[in-house]
Structure 1
Amino acid sequence: MWSKKLLLLALLSFLMNEYLCAQQVFTLQQAIDTAIANYGTIKAKASYTAAANEQVKQARRDYLPNVNLSAQQDYGTINGQNGPMYGFGGLAASSSGVPLDHQNWNAAFGALYLTNINWDFFAFGRAKEKIKTAMAAATQNDKDWQQEIFRHKIKVAAAYLNLVAAQQLTRSFKDNMDRADTVRKLVRVRVLNHLIAGVDSSQANAEYSSARITWTKAKDAEQEQGNQLAQLLGVPAQNFTVDTEFVKRIPNLADVQLSEDNHPVLQWYKSRIALSDEQAKYYKTLYYPAFSVVGVLQTRGSGFGNNYGVDQHNFSQGYWDGVNPTRTNYLIGVGVTWNITQPLRISRQVKAQQQISKGLQYEYDLADQQIKAQMQLSDTKLQNALDNFREVPVQVKAASDAYLQKSVLYKNGLTNLVDLTQAAYALIRAQTDRDIAYVNVWQALLIKAAAAGDFNVFTY
């Protein structure tokens, strides 16, 4: 009874340990999700996109009329004088009154209440083109954000595959070191029993040392790849336990075609051209005049009486007497403003913007050409990687059988240590070729996904 319970507890403990180990594996999808959430450049471009969307809203509101409200209450004198005056920079006071033959210091309160409306209601599509330009800028920022996410997914997947390869190579070199250690111990026992010469022990020690150095270098390369992956994830450097099992099988290889309308990178290049074209259209609207409607409502109050020019004693220094509104004026008007030399200046700006659009088109054509070339190359690389993938099992089996044969012969004194060492070299070379061939298939598929502009191609 107790034995059954102990067996059940042991089984549950084993399953729990397996579950925890499985939970600690850092999958490729987790790596991508972490990178998109944490990487600084992606977060920055997300903020730029949000800012551009706000600028679209601001461009729409620019069409609204300007409505200014003003109120002021002052205290001072109103001495006037006949003569011309211009207020440079708005530095002149606006005190006004009857020009007297002498200076006086009579002072009272005064007030001005003003409402002003100014609206450019028609400017030959200027407001509409400004909104379209802002929308094109928002689209460009969004496309830039999307292509940055796409590029970063490719970078993270490539770094993840490099780390998978590094961990597999580390594991293979660790197995090679363990084999060298086993041979070293076997040689030591046979030397102590005077079955073989002592030089074999020195050679076995050297082979073990060489295997250990190679393993240490592999660990160093693995740590370097892990550090690079951590940088791309935007997290502190740490030891990642990545999924090394999925690379041992052939991925789903669907027929993928390049779609220029859906490729994130090409779409970003197109959005730059569209923004430049919209800016040129907006600049053209500055050729034409703007029709405006204006409206003013003004109310004033003053502590000086209406016959103050005759009787300088007719004023009150009371606050309410000065700020109480007593006179109101209004004005409604329609006008047009046109700087007739503006087209001469703006035409050069339009031509400059058109040249920028042409340059952006050349950049798009170059990117399209490079992506198409990469698409063709990815097919070749994928086919070559698949051929190697199918060949490495044969190589590994032959090398394993040869090593097993040589080790058995050596244990029975039927071959020498040099033959056994050569078999070990062949085996570790076959194992490293296998590890690299496995990862190369997925790296070739990643290149194809990058060229096609569809990360979903790279699925496992």
Structure 2
Amino acid sequence: MHHLKRYGCAALLLLLAITGHAQQRVTLKDLLNKVDQNAPELIADSASIAIKQAQATETRSNWLPNLKLNYQADVGTNNNTAGPYFGFGIIPSNSRGVRTENNTSAVLTNLGIAALDWEVYNFGAYAAQNKVAGSDITVEQNQFQQSKYKLQAYTIGNYLQLLRLQDYLAIQSRNIERNQQIRRSIQSLAKSGIRPGVDTSIAEAELSKARLTYIELDNQLKQIQLQLATISGLPYQSIVPDTLAETRLISQTNIPGLIVADTANHPIINYYRSVVKNSLQKEELVKKQYNPKILLEAAAWGRGASVDANDKFNNLSSGWGFDRNNYLVGVGISYNLFDLRRKQLKLRTQKAATDYALRKLDEQKSLLALGVSQANIELNTAKQRLAEIPNQLKAATAGYRQKLSLYKSGLTDIIELNAALNILYRAETDYAQARFAYTSALFQKAVTGNQVSSVLNLLN
């Protein structure tokens, strides 16, 4: 007997441990950390930052010179005539003076060239290109932070919805229990002939309705769990919110005063501010990219041909090898006068883009200020609701108990009892909705004011 008791206690402890593990709660801070690490959207955005960094590295190499090595061997005629022409890139070169008669004898030539061209200085265009490339990285990084911010708001909203649905499920469970209690009472009263049999049918219908509502609420909860599982990488069954979080936030009445909006460093503001800066730097690039260019040119080459200096056409094999060598070095400056007009037109377009970016920045500042004000009003309204709701709940509870007692005594009918039950159910759901509205407004103020971490720290 002693052994049975000992094994029974061990089995009970094991069952409690398993149950506790299965119902382990996920805090909002832990969920947000998982989303930051595993959200597909953030993983893709981080890859786009790497692209911009690679492009910036590529841009920094624009200053490198071109050093081209060329070699060719050709067989053809050497038969020139006088007169100018434009080459258009398709007329082959044929170096030799004009002969008195036509000569179509074949000539073998070979040519090797090493040619350097280098844009040594362009009056700040290289530096402007690098600044724009660096600014592109900053824009992409701020875009990433903005995506994190939006995903954070999305995660918080869904987490609070889970808390609300859990409250609704608990209320619905109590509603089912009350309907079961009413049905048992009716069945007992109907058997004794105090109540008509039709009351049993009405009670069954109400109980079935309560169960269907529970099923629908459970489905909504699972759908939100699936959405959070997609961005967090957690199994959806394990995303069970910490029900005490809502209670902690409601009990700390000084939290709203601690949330001081910091919109100056808000991720959305930082993103649009970086877009404005990027556009301004592109303006500078437009100004610099049409500046004159100082070029260094150099070439060394060797040539050989089967026709000699006496204009004798020798055997083709004598054309191999170089018998003349040359070099050429020069510095030049290049400027296209019509670039003045091109620069004006392009700069006008870029200035329009800058003006648009500034207007978007101002728009986002206004929207954030509006969001903070709306959250403050909603928070104050939610506090007033929470103060008033207990009165409704207390009265509804007392009314239901009174109606249930009267029904059991045969002093009222099933319709009035169900009406009292519905009033109690509505009061409980109103209370759950008021709790949700308060925490939702609190986090809305924190999200809009860039102070989510301050609220999360209060939940520890």
User: 2:57 matched to which residue of 1?
Assistant: 57
How far is 1:165 from its partner? 1.4
Q: Are residues 208 and 384 of structure 1, via their aligned partners in 2, closer, same or farther at CA, if it must alter by over 3 Å? A: same
Q: 2:258 aligns with which of 255, 260, 277?
A: 255
Secondary structure of residue in 2 paired with 1:118: strand
- 1:13 partner amino acid: L
User: Cα deviations across residues 299-319 of structure 1 (Å, max 9, x unaligned)?
Assistant: 33x25264361x323x4527x
Q: 1:282 aligns with which of 276, 281, 285?
A: 285
User: Cα deviations across residues 343-384 of structure 1 (Å, max 9, x unaligned)?
Assistant: 122112212222221222122112111211211221222232
- Alignment pair present for 1:442 and 2:445: no
User: Cα deviations across residues 173-204 of structure 1 (Å, max 9, x unaligned)?
Assistant: 23212321221122112202223233322332
Matches within 5 A, 1:87-106: 88-97=87-96, 99-100=98-99, 101-106=101-106
Instruction: Give identity over the alignment, percent.
Output: 24
User: 2:299 matched to which residue of 1?
Assistant: 296
What CA distance in whole angstroms lies between the structure 2 residues aligned with 1:120 and 1:422? 88
Pick which of 410-419 and 116-125 moved more: 410-419
CA contact (8 A) 1:170 1:222 kept: no
Secondary structure of residue in 2 paired with 1:436: helix
Unaligned runs of 5+ in 2: none
User: Cα deviations across residues 140-184 of structure 1 (Å, max 9, x unaligned)?
Assistant: 111111111101110121122123212321331232123212211
User: 1:407 matched to which residue of 2?
Assistant: 404
What CA distance in whole angstroms lies between the structure 2 residues aligned with 1:8 and 1:97? 111
User: 2:422 matched to which residue of 1?
Assistant: 425
CA contact (8 A) 1:286 1:343 kept: no
What CA distance in whole angstroms lies between the structure 2 residues aligned with 1:344 and 1:241? 65
CA contact (8 A) 1:68 1:116 kept: yes
How far is 1:240 from its partner? 4.8
User: 1:162 matched to which residue of 2?
Assistant: 161
Matches within 5 A, 1:46-445: 46-64=46-64, 66-84=65-83, 86=85, 88-97=87-96, 99-100=98-99, 101-108=101-108, 110-226=109-225, 228-229=227-228, 240-250=239-249, 253=255, 255-300=258-303, 302-304=304-306, 306-307=308-309, 309=311, 311-313=312-314, 315-317=315-317, 322=320, 324-411=321-408, 413=410, 416-445=413-442
CA contact (8 A) 2:260 2:451 kept: no
Pick which of 99-108 and 129-138 moved more: 99-108
Q: Are residues 51 and 89 of structure 1, via their aligned partners in 2, closer, same or farther at CA, if it must alter by over 3 Å? A: farther
Secondary structure of residue in 2 paired with 1:247: helix
Pick which of 86-95 and 178-187 moved more: 86-95
How far is 1:391 from its partner? 4.2
- Alignment pair present for 1:456 and 2:453: yes
Pick which of 200-209 and 226-235 moved more: 226-235
> Alignment length, in residue pairs?
451
Pick which of 176-185 and 330-339 moved more: 176-185
Secondary structure of residue in 1 paired with 2:69: strand
What CA distance in whole angstroms lies between the structure 1 residues aligned with 2:410 and 2:437? 41
Q: Are residues 10 and 234 of structure 1, via their aligned partners in 2, closer, same or farther at CA, if it must alter by over 3 Å? A: closer
What CA distance in whole angstroms lies between the structure 1 residues aligned with 2:59 and 2:45? 21
How far is 1:13 from its partner? 0.8
CA contact (8 A) 1:40 1:234 kept: no
What CA distance in whole angstroms lies between the structure 2 residues aligned with 1:175 and 1:197? 26
CA RMSD of aligned residues (A): 3.0
How far is 1:224 from its partner? 4.7
TM-score, normalised to structure 2, is 0.87
- 1:367 partner amino acid: Q
CA contact (8 A) 1:38 1:235 kept: no
CA contact (8 A) 1:32 1:153 kept: yes
Q: Are residues 11 and 177 of structure 1, via their aligned partners in 2, closer, same or farther at CA, if it must alter by over 3 Å? A: closer
Q: Are residues 151 and 121 of structure 1, via their aligned partners in 2, closer, same or farther at CA, if it must alter by over 3 Å? A: same
User: Cα deviations across residues 79-110 of structure 1 (Å, max 9, x unaligned)?
Assistant: 231234657553233354565534344443x4
User: 1:21 matched to which residue of 2?
Assistant: 22
- 2:301 partner amino acid: Q
What CA distance in whole angstroms lies between the structure 1 residues aligned with 2:68 and 2:364? 54
CA contact (8 A) 1:150 1:455 kept: no
Q: Are residues 390 and 86 of structure 1, via their aligned partners in 2, closer, same or farther at CA, if it must alter by over 3 Å? A: farther
Q: Are residues 348 and 445 of structure 1, via their aligned partners in 2, closer, same or farther at CA, if it must alter by over 3 Å? A: same
CA contact (8 A) 1:166 1:225 kept: no
How far is 1:330 from its partner? 1.8
Pick which of 380-389 and 81-90 moved more: 81-90
What CA distance in whole angstroms lies between the structure 1 residues aligned with 2:259 and 2:391? 30
Pick which of 381-390 and 326-335 moved more: 381-390
User: 1:42 matched to which residue of 2?
Assistant: 42
TM-score, normalised to structure 1, is 0.87
